[in-house]
Amino acid sequence: MELKLYLTFVIFVFGLIFGSFFNVVGWRLPAGLSLVKPGSFCPKCKHRLKWYELIPLVSYVIQGGKCRKCKQKIPKFYFIVELMTGVLYALAFWIFGLSFEFVLAILTISFFVIVVVSDSNYLIIPDEVTFFFSVVIIFVRFIMNGPKDALIYLLFGIGAFFLMYVLMLFGNFIFKKESLGGGDIKLMFFVGCAVGPWMSLFTIFLSSFIALPLSLILYFNNKDSVIPYGPFLLIACLVIIMFKLDINFILGLGI
């Protein structure tokens, strides 16, 4: 138990570090900026941050949530994303240990965090990110279970993509406007590769159920609000993975 607690803490720290990087990816990639140059800087005064200003969570707390030079407030969003990544990484390890399911969960969490940043701020899910994580998850399936399993889940991903495309066409026809973004449709390819065909269908149902309360709140506050759907798809995908839901669960619900 002590070893597991220690490893969980280590995974948590790695999650904080990756969360900091995912912040950069989510902010820069949709804007067409390099992930490497320039180095991290304050968006207000352009002050180049030193290494001790980049320690996840710690630097934010020590500096009181402000830039050390211009004293402008740093968005809490950065802090929340780092903490969320660390907690989710640690939770995944606590549930699965060092296993294939842990790798699957980590990939989904990482993709989710980047999508939260990019889709929330730009309403964009970068194709490069979707392609990267989809390829990695198929490669992992190939390594773990061989080419047959990888091919089957690749086909599942293609099927989920076309299902979402058909739903988009139907939604466009019903609402007479764009109902889903292209990034959401491509994201479903990853979901299919991650959880298979039946759970991909359940992902759409569950994500809609999760998104409904927030959608209603935002709609009544501002009828022109645009709600990014991508994060909800990946939240649903994560719920399925973390709670180990399968076709038997769906049959039990009578869906």
Beta bridge partners of 66: 73
Quote the pLDDT of residue 16: 97
Alpha helices in 98-222 (DSSP H): 100-122, 127-145, 147-175, 182-195, 197-221
**Token pair 């989510």 is at which residue?**
26
Q: CA dist 77 to 148, 169, 174, Å? A: 41, 34, 35
What tens-digit pLDDT sequence spans the chain (255 residues)?
A: 788 999 999 999 999 999 999 999 999 999 888 888 877 877 778 778 887 888 899 999 999 888 888 888 888 999 999 999 999 999 999 999 999 999 999 999 999 999 999 998 898 999 999 999 999 999 999 998 999 999 999 999 999 999 999 988 887 877 677 767 788 899 999 999 999 988 999 999 999 899 888 777 766 776 666 778 899 999 999 999 999 888 777 777 765
User: Which residue type occupies 173?
Assistant: F
Number of domains in the chain: 2
- Count of CA atoms in the C-beta half-sphere (13 A) of 25: 22
End-to-end CA distance of the chain: 39
Q: Which domain holds residue 170?
A: 100-255
Same domain, 122 and 9: no
Provide the token pair at 212: 């409904």
Q: At which of 98, 130, 148 does a domain end?
A: 98
Same domain, 57 and 108: no
Same domain, 107 and 157: yes
CB 90 within 8 A of CB 8: yes
Q: At which of 68, 98, 128 does a domain end?
A: 98
